[in-house]
Amino acid sequence: MYLVATPIGNLEDVTLRALRVLSEVSAIACEDTRQTRKLLDRHGIARPLVSYHEHNERERSRELVERMESGESIALVSDAGMPLVSDPGHTLVHSCIERGIPVTPIPGPSAFVAALAASGLPAGEFLFVGFLPARTGERARKLRELAPERRTLIFYEAPHRLATTLRDALAILGDRRAVVARELTKIHEEFRRAKLSELAEFYRRSEPRGEITLLVGAPETAASAPESGRQAGSLGERVAELERQGYDRKSALKQAAREFGIPKREAYRLLLAEQARKRDSAV
């Protein structure tokens, strides 16, 4: 079993080893046979293609494992990049490992790695998330989970959802440095580097096209969340909301601090300051 990385745009971005393996295997399992055929035709490779996608993954995995157990070799490719990275393939790989069939990766292009390298954001540590949930509530919950992260966050996103994702990220993560990498390795490759607020406004007015990778940096300081007066008020409202949902006071404060990307001690100080201001106003 070979996991073969394929170009993410430019068909020249394929390794010699990948071409050799693709020309030697018994068959190639791929998401879209038409897409894979373009690559094979470009390099003069003629091998049988088998469709393998999220809708037939379980059934097709059984068939492919049986073929490999009978002595055939199979290469798995995705439409672009490394198989299994936000793409089908886990069921097949897991089945191969269970049956003792060797699984060999053939590394190559990856959109999120290319985007990270050229983003200008810290690349020493990062968290690749893949696609965020499409539903607004689920997406917000996921972003709240990620709020405490200090590593660079990397997402894939559909063009028609980019504006709302940027808006939600700004509201939950604060106004961090971010990068939208679009159409990597293709003719219209573009990197747009700015704060989340600027990107949200730009893409609110101009819906992008093509494949998109979104990268979000860590807060520059604890104060890079909303300014202190507004932050304190918002923090207090969020603590109260969590308490209504069943959190005790301590847990609510801890969760709110995570969501605002600030230390728990700082959140406690801001909450006390807000309460003091309210008492002074009442007097």
Token reading at 248: 């005790």
Chain centre distance of CA 2: 24
Per-residue pLDDT band at 264 (split at 50, 70, 90):
confident
Gyration radius from the chain CA atoms: 24
* Measured distance between the N- and C-terminal CA atoms of the chain, rounded to whole angstroms: 74
Q: For residues 131 and 157, is the Cβ–Cβ distance under 8 A?
A: yes
Is pLDDT of 222 > 60? Answer: no
Q: What is the pLDDT of residues 139-161, one digit of tens each?
A: 999 999 999 898 999 999 999 99
Cα dihedral sign, 95-98-104-107: positive
Q: How far apart are CA 227 and CA 111, in angstroms?
A: 35
Asked if the domains at 2-106 and 111-220 fall in one CATH topology, the answer is no
Question: What is the domain partition of the chain in residue ranges?
Answer: 2-106, 111-220, 224-282
Dmax of the chain from CA atoms? 84
Is pLDDT of 122 > 90? Answer: yes
Q: How far apart are CA 190 and CA 184, in angstroms?
A: 7
Question: Shortest CA distance to 120 belongs to which of 188, 53, 181?
Answer: 181
**Helix or strand run (H / E) with residue 195:** strand 190-195
Residue 30: partners with Cβ closer than 8 Å, 6 or more residues away: 36, 49, 50, 51, 52, 76, 77, 78, 79
Q: What is the pLDDT of residues 37-62, one digit of tens each?
A: 999 999 999 999 999 998 999 999 99
Instruction: Kindly report the CATH number that applies to the domain delimited by 2-106.
Output: 3.40.1010.10
Record: fold of 111-220? 3.30.950
| For range 176-203, the mean pLDDT | 96
Is pLDDT of 97 > 70? Answer: yes
